[in-house]
Structure 1
Amino acid sequence: MKKIYILAVALVAFAFTGTSQIIEDDMDFYDNAIDISSQSPTFDNWSGTSGTTEDGFTTDVIAIGIKSLLIGNNATSDVILQAGNQNGGQYTFSFDYYVADGATGFYGLMETNDTGTPVFTLTFYPNQGGAGVDEIRVGTGVVGTFDMPKDTWVKMTHLIDLDADTIVVLMDGVEIYNDAYGSTLFGAVDLWSVDGSCENYFDNFFLDEGILATESFDAKGFVTSMRNGQLTLSANEVIDTVAIYNMLGQEVYNSKLGATSAIINMSSYANGTYIVRASINGTVGSIKVIK
């Protein structure tokens, strides 16, 4: 039976510092006419040299917001998403993924961003070889299959624990893989035009240091709402503490609540995305809010 997860990133204080690299990119502000590696240090291509057929470009033809990253059917596009060469720790990596009907696809998780001697930990092949089978591989061996809808967006989430050597992969919140990760390193993600039938779109990349909150946190009924700069929190049980972080990892609020609900005045805070971290009867979890 497929297992459905409720996701929340359980952060610790200063989780955004040190070697952790946060990625949150909706792809909407790039110039479609310029290769993406020339516009952002988050992206590179396989050879490390822009102006080649490996270059990737954004498009506004298919996107969740305004634009997405297209890896098309030239069989040479090969974009590297830099994940910060993480060594140990727990990470949540996600993105929205669209594979055109009848097209093939590929992305691969890599130990480091060294493309000279690349080591892949896990690779994904939607519609592998055009045969209609969506494969997950370690090396050349198939270790799992999944049923990916085509011509629609799905959310791919990867919960990587480098210390415990585990990875859980979710598609739209449903587990499709749960096994050993195979390394203590996570350095990059390869987005490659695997063949002449490839047509892949990527959007809303997100990488953060943190772990999957247990399902017991969801049972606490923790919900938030934002209106006119006022953040309302509520839960089924007493909320012990609340901390709020901006996307630079800076703690902007911390309080002991000792109540099942509270209103926090955020009217003076800058507009943007924040992480709200709550401890409820010993269970910790976090969710994003937008002001």
Structure 2
Amino acid sequence: MKNIARLCFALLGFCFLEANAQALFFDDFESYAYNRIGPQSARWTTWSGNEGGQEDPFVTDDPAFSGTHSLEIKGNMFYPNGGPVDCILKLGDLTSGRYELSFQMYFEDADGMYYNFQHFETPGEEWAFEVECHSGGVINGMTDCSVLLGGAREYFTIMRGGWTKMGHIIDLDNDEATLLINDVPVYSWPFSWQANETSGTNQLGGINFFPRDDFDAYVIDDVSFTILTSTEEVTVTTPSQLLPNIISDRATLAISPDLYTQNLQAHIWGTDGRLHQQIELDGAIEQQLDLSGLPSGSYLLVLLATDGTLLDRLPFQKM
């Protein structure tokens, strides 16, 4: 595997949850009650799809990275009435674009942790890669952890008993995944690989949090899902327009002459942080878009070049 020293991305400057923030989806768990998360969230679910039961993790306060809430992932020994936790964060079956999924993670000296990425939002079809730290065997608070990718296990070290930022850059346009520890790149490999083989589907479906054994126990907080774009600057003198601003079924996209290219995509994101539509534009400066399949609500149309360069952002309302 090659170590990566190249991170040439700029964050997309919008968020549906907080003005001027940068994440498509950010969850600090502060809005949830101290209970199982599945019935409280449209994005979190379980491996089986049955929410509110023993697979569903609890929102807790011990500890929390920010605020007072976090999400606990624990093995059977911590749940005398059944377990373990086996939960899914759905990421939309994305096939293009560049993204970062990160979260803060905490586990104690005697505990372990495990999670994996799935190529499909429906879990169990393809494990993209797996990350784990075994319980026990700790020396001076340090532990050897590993990522399983393409049938090979690559090792890294993190500190237990404190918070660690786990970052994952998924570049679907160039079929590349990068693991970062506290924002430092560790390994990079083709994202289409599966955990145990060097072939698979270049698609981002979700992340699965699961205790590998009865003694695994960790908490996560500040989960962020961000779209990344190239550092190329685009100067716009005439903005693009989406008309009308309040849409029933169809809309007209008038692309700025400053941005026009034969190769454009329109991504439509909802307030839930989910990608609802990917539209390949047909080469005309003025495009007719069929948005009849969208539920009522607030959306953002992101105009991208096929190399991932962000060109424009157009908010709109769907009746």
**SS at 2:59's partner residue?**
strand
Structure 1 residues 181, 69: CA separation in 2 closer, same or farther (over 3 Å shift)? same
**AA aligned opposite 1:118:** E
Task: Give the alignment's TM-score, normalised by structure 1.
Answer: 0.64
1:3-18 correspondence runs (5 A): 9-11=10-12
Partners of 1:134 and 1:128 in 2: CA distance:
10
SS in 2 for 1:70: strand
> Which residue of the partner structure matches residue 96 of structure 2?
88
| Structure 2: segments with no counterpart, 5+ residues | 16-22, 77-82, 193-200, 233-269, 274-308, 311-319
User: Kindly, what percent of the aligned residue pairs are identical?
Assistant: 26
Q: Is residue 2:144 matched to residue 1:133?
A: yes
Higher strand share: 1
- Residues 169-208 of structure 1 aligned to structure 2 (within 5 Å): 169-182=179-192, 183-208=201-226
Quick one: which amino acid aligns to residue 98 of structure 1? Y
Q: Distance in 2 between matches of 1:210 and 1:167?
A: 13
What is the total number of aligned residue pairs between the two structures? Answer: 212
Partner of 1:43: 44
Q: Which residue of structure 1 aligns with residue 128 of structure 2?
A: 121
C-alpha change, 1:2 and 1:167, in structure 2 (3 Å) is: closer
SS at match of 1:38: helix
- Larger RCO (alpha carbons 8 Å, 6+ apart): 1
| Post-superposition CA distance 1:41-98 (Å, at most 9, x none) | 1100111112321110111010012111000122620110011111122111111111
For 2:38 and 2:8, the matched residues in 1 are separated by 30
**Structure 1: 5+ residue runs without aligned partners?**
15-20, 215-246, 250-282, 285-291
Matches within 5 A, 1:131-280: 132-138=143-149, 141-182=151-192, 183-211=201-229
The alpha-carbon deviation at position 5 of structure 1 amounts to 7.4
Aligned to 2:245: none
**Residues in 2 aligned to 1:23 and 1:138: alpha-carbon distance in whole angstroms:** 26
Cα RMSD (Å) of the superposition? 3.3
When the two structures are superposed, what TM-score results if normalisation uses the length of structure 2? Answer: 0.59
Residues 1:31 and 1:12: Cα distance change in structure 2 (over 3 Å): closer
8 A contact 1:82–1:189 mirrored in 2:
yes
Which residue type is aligned with residue 131 of structure 2? F
In structure 1, what is the Cα distance between the partners aligned to 2:95 and 2:7? 26
